[in-house]
Amino acid sequence: MATVDHIVPTDNQSRPFKDNLAEQMIETLEKNCLQHKIKFFNIGSGSQGIVHVVAPELGLTQPGMTIACGDSHTSTHGAFGSIAFGIGTSQDRYKSSKRCSCYPNHSHEQTKGKANLV
């Protein structure tokens, strides 16, 4: 799922936004969500908001999930039995390009090669 929070103006949410960068960001997110079939809680959906509030309210945060979001309060998902990591914009872009953010407890990632442990 995807939602917008900090780029949405509080005084006037009509589009296009006065802030050109914010408008470009939301346009890109809309296009990417449509292209990759990601559920997008946009302005006016009734479910748009801050991800660490919206996801638990909608029942998207579930026990046993591993969650990574570009939100500094992501760890609050832990109150619902998830393990959650707040990550930066660069890491969020990489995560999004790999199309992975939430894993049910029966999923795993597999790597090849030797671990270089120090």
How confident is residue 100, by pLDDT bands cut at 50, 70 and 90?
very low
**Domain for residue 116, yes or no?**
no
What is the domain count for the chain?
2
Percentage of the chain modeled with pLDDT above 90:
24
pLDDT digits (tens, 9 = 90+) for 7-34: 888 899 999 999 999 999 899 989 988 9
pTM check: above 0.75: no
Q: Which of 37, 50, 46, 36 is nearest to 3 (CA)?
A: 50
* Domain around 39: 1-49
The CA-CA-CA angle for residues 95, 99, 101, to 5°, reads 60
Per the model's pLDDT, the better-predicted residue between 73 and 109 turns out to be: 73
Could you give the CA distance from residue 23 to residue 71 in angstroms, rounded to a whole number? 19
In the chain, count of helices (H) and strands (E)?
3, 5
Residues 45 and 57 in one domain: no
Provide the pLDDT for residue 69: 81
Residues 58 and 42 in one domain: no
**Domain for residue 117, yes or no?**
no
**Domain for residue 99, yes or no?**
yes
Residues 44 and 65 in one domain: no
Helix (H) or strand (E) holding 20: helix 20-36
